[in-house]
Amino acid sequence: MPEAISVPVLFVSEPIVLPTMVVPIELDDAARAAVDAAQASESGKLLIAPRLDDRYPTYGVLASIVQVGRIPGGGGSAAVVRGERRAHIGTGTTGPGAALWVEVTEVIDESPAPESTLALAAEYKKLLLAMLQRREAWQIIDFVNKLTDPSQLADTAGYASYLTDVQKRELLETPDVAERLRALIDWTGDHLAETEVNDKIAEDVREGMEKTQKEFLLRQQLAAIRKELGEGEPDGSDDYRARIEAADLPEKVRQAALREVGKLERSSEQSPEGGWIRTWLDTVLELPWNVTTEDSTNLTLAREVLDADHHGLEDVKDRIVEYLAVRARRAQRGMAVVGGRGSGAVMVLAGPPGVGKTSLGESVARALGRKFVRVALGGVRDEAEIRGHRRTYVGALPGRLVRAIGEAGSMNPVVLLDEIDKVGSDYRGDPSAALLEVLDPAQNHTFRDHYLDLDLDLSDVVFLATANVIENIPSALLDRMELVQIDGYTEDDKVAIARDFLLPRQRERAALTDDEVTVTDAALRKIAADYTREPGVRQFERLLAKALRKATTKLAENADPLTIDEPDLVGYLGRPRFTPESQERTAVPGVATGLAVTGLGGDVLYIEAGSTEGESSLQLTGQLGDVMKESAQIALSYVRSHADQLGVDPTALDRKIHVHVPAGAVPKDGPSAGVTMVTALVSMATGRQVRSDVGMTGEVTLNGRVLSIGGIKQKLLAAQRAGLSTVFIPQRNEPDLDDVPAEVLEVLDVRPMTDVADIVAQALEPVEALATSAA
C-alpha cells in the first residue's frame, strides 16, 4: 500500500480537476500560499480538492505546477496545474508557510485492467467517439483513439461540458475504474440520445422554414402570373362558390358554406386556416344533403330477399315487413312518409356470436332497396368518434355517423351500429351518451356534429344495432331501441342452414360442384350435435370448410365423386369433440344440472355439493359473484329449515359444507342457480343421486318459492344440445315458452314449478331405484 505523504492543499469551487487534466486556476491569497508552499517543497506537488459546503472532501488530485503568472489585462495571478494521481485525503498536518497541509495516500489503479473493465472502456469509448463525431472534433477523436488505459479514458470526462460539477465530483470520489465507466456510459448515452433528438428537431425546423419560404416565393410568383393572365383568385374561392351554387344544399347549409368561402377569401396564403376551411367545404359538399333512395314497396319481394339470405329470425323479418307496409300504405293514401326513426325502425339485435346479426343488416338494406353502411363501435371510448372533433383541433374529422352518411351517398341508408354493447368510456367522454341523441326520435332530426356544426337530419335513417350482452348496454340507450332477441338455432335449424347456405358457399370457395362432393343430412346433424356446442353456426361452417378441403385433396388423387356420411366424419374431422356428460357428472350424489346464459348463449352448469367433518360452515368456490353466493346461502338456509319436508337428516347439515361450480376459471353470477343449489344440497345430504336427464333453472326464496328468471329460450336450447329430456322452470316463465321453437318443446318435457320442494321430489332418483342399483 502506498505511503502517506504530506502536501499543501488547494480548495477550489471550479473547475473540478481530475487526473490527466491541465487547467488554469485563479489564485487568491490562500491559493497563492498553497502554490508557493508546493514550489518550495521537495516533491513540488500540491493537492487540489473540491470545496464542499456540507462536508470535508474524501478525495482530491495530486497535481504538479506547470506555470505561475499573471492574468492578461491587469488581472490577478493564476497557476496552470496538471492533475496526476487521485489521492485519498487523510488528516491535517503541519508544514512550512501559511498553507494548509494534509496527509494523502495515492490511489493505485489495478494493473493490468480486468477484461470486464476493458469491455466497459470499449463501450464508453464508442459512445464518446459517436458524440465527438457529431461535433466534428477530429483532433480530440485522434487523442481519444490513442488512449488505452481505462482509468485515463474515464478521467478525460473532466473536460466534458455536458457533465455537471456534481457528476464530476462523483467521478473524482469513485476510485474504482469500472464504477466510473458504468456511470459515464449511462450519462453519455443519455446525453447522446438527447443530442440526437435536438439535432433532428433543429433539422426539421430548418427544413420546414426553407419549405415555407420556398412555397411563399412560388405562390407570390404564381399570384403574379395569374394576375397577368386574368385567371381570378388563386385560392380557389371562385370555384367553391360555383360548386355551392350548383349543389342542391339546404338553405342554412348553403349560407354557412358561403360564409366560410368569405373567410377563405380574406385569409392569407400562409395561414393554416385556409387549409382547414377547404377541408370543411369539401366535406360539406360531398354529403348527400337532399339525396335519398326510393324504398321498395313490394312486401312479397322483401320477404323473399330476407328468406333467401337467412334461415329463421322471423321476429326481425316480420318487423321489417311491417315497417315497409306502413310506409307503402301512407304513400298510397297521399300522406307524408314518416322517417325511419319516426316509424320506430331502430332495433337492437341481441344474441350470441355467430347467429347472423351483422349479416342481417345487409339483407335488410337489400329488402328495403337502400344503401347499407356498417359503423363498428367495438372498443370506441372517445365521444368525438360519434360527434366528431371540433374544428379548432389539428387533424379534426367529422364523426363516424357523418362519414357513414357520406359513404352511403344518401340520407336514408340502413346504418348498422355493430357491437353497441362494447362501447366504453374514459376521460374523453362517453360515446353511449352521444348515441342517445342519434337514436332519439325527438332529437335526431337536428343532430349536430361538432365538426360540421350544422344540423343533420337522421330521421329517415334505419338504425340497426347488434349486441352480445344486453346488460352491457346503458338502460337509457336500450330504452330508445326495439329489442329483438336472437337466442340461437336448434339442431334442425343448423342442419337447414348448413344445407341451404353454408355448404353451397364452401363448395364455391373450394371450386367444387354438387355432384363431386355430397354431404348427407345425417352427417350434418352429427356435426351439429357432436362436433360443435354453439348457439350459432360459425364453428359449424369452419368444420364444413375443413371437410371440403380434405375432400378436394382426395379428388386431386382420385376423380371419383365423394359422399360424406356420418361414419366418414372421423376421417375428415377427427373424433367428436362433445358428448353428453350429464349422466357421468351426476353419477354421484351432490351434483345437479343447472342452466345458465352467457355471452355465447345458453349453457349447462353443473353444481357440486359435498361435506366433511368439521364445524358447521359453508364454503363457496368457482369464482362466484355476490348474487350467486347469496343464492347458495339461501339454499342452505332453506334446506335446514325444511329438512323434515325434504327427507333430510338435520345432522347431515351440521358439517362443513362445500359448494363448487365448475369451471373454476370462469366468473359466474346471477340468481337463477338457486333451485339447482337446493337440489344439489338435498342430494348430498340424502345420498340420492339427481336424475341425469334433468336440468333446472330458477331463483329460490327462503320459503321455497321459485321466482322467474330470464333467458328461458337460450337455456332450453342449451338443454336440448346437452341431451337433457326434462327441464324444470319457474311457473311465472311459462309465457316465455311461446318464443321457444316447437321442435325443442317436442323433445323436452318442460315442467313449470312454483315450489322448489316439488322440483327436488321429481329430480332425485327414487329410493327404490337406488336400492335396486345397490343390489
Residues marked active site are found at: 672, 715
Residues 6 or more apart in contact with residue 543 via CB below 8 angstroms: 527, 531, 532, 573
Residues 6 or more apart in contact with residue 491 via CB below 8 angstroms: 525, 528, 529, 720, 721
- Is residue 280 a contact partner of residue 391, using CB atoms and an 8 Å limit? yes
Looking at the DSSP bridge assignments, the partners of residue 426 are: 429
**DSSP-based three-state secondary structure for 552:** helix
For residue 642, what is the DSSP state?
A: T
d(CA 636, CA 630): 10
Residues 6 or more apart in contact with residue 246 via CB below 8 angstroms: none
- Is residue 364 a contact partner of residue 414, using CB atoms and an 8 Å limit? yes
d(CA 389, CA 657): 58
Helices marked H in 602-641: 626-641
C-alpha cell, 218: 412560388
Residue 577 CB neighbours (<10 A): 12
Looking at the DSSP bridge assignments, the partners of residue 484 are: 349
Angle between helices 674-686 and 626-641 (to 10 degrees): 40
Residue 13 CB neighbours (<10 A): 10
d(CA 130, CA 573): 61
- Is residue 463 a contact partner of residue 373, using CB atoms and an 8 Å limit? no
- Is residue 32 a contact partner of residue 40, using CB atoms and an 8 Å limit? no
User: Following CA atoms 148, 150, 151, 152 in sequence, which dihedral angle do they give, to the nearest 10 degrees?
Assistant: 30
d(CA 92, CA 11): 14
C-alpha cell, 533: 356446442
For residue 515, what is the DSSP state?
A: T
DSSP characters for 503-553? HHHHHHHTT--TTTEEE-HHHHHHIIIII---SSSHHHHHHHHHHHHHHHH
**DSSP-based three-state secondary structure for 668:** strand
- The per-type count for the chain, helices as H runs and strands as E runs, is 29, 24
C-alpha cell, 590: 351432490
- Is residue 468 a contact partner of residue 338, using CB atoms and an 8 Å limit? no
- Is residue 79 a contact partner of residue 24, using CB atoms and an 8 Å limit? yes
Calculate the alpha carbon distances from 614 to 649, 650, 654 in Å.
17, 15, 8
d(CA 309, CA 359): 9
d(CA 550, CA 566): 16
φ and ψ at 377, to 5 degrees?
Answer: -105, -5
Q: Fill in the amino acid letter for 95.
A: G
- Is residue 564 a contact partner of residue 547, using CB atoms and an 8 Å limit? yes
Q: What angle do CA 264, 217, 234 make, to 5 degrees?
A: 30
User: Following CA atoms 72, 76, 80, 84 in sequence, which dihedral angle do they give, to the nearest 10 degrees?
Assistant: -160
Residue from 152, 182, 184, 179 nearest 168 by CA: 184
φ and ψ at 83, to 5 degrees?
Answer: -70, 135
Residues 6 or more apart in contact with residue 279 via CB below 8 angstroms: none
d(CA 6, CA 441): 96
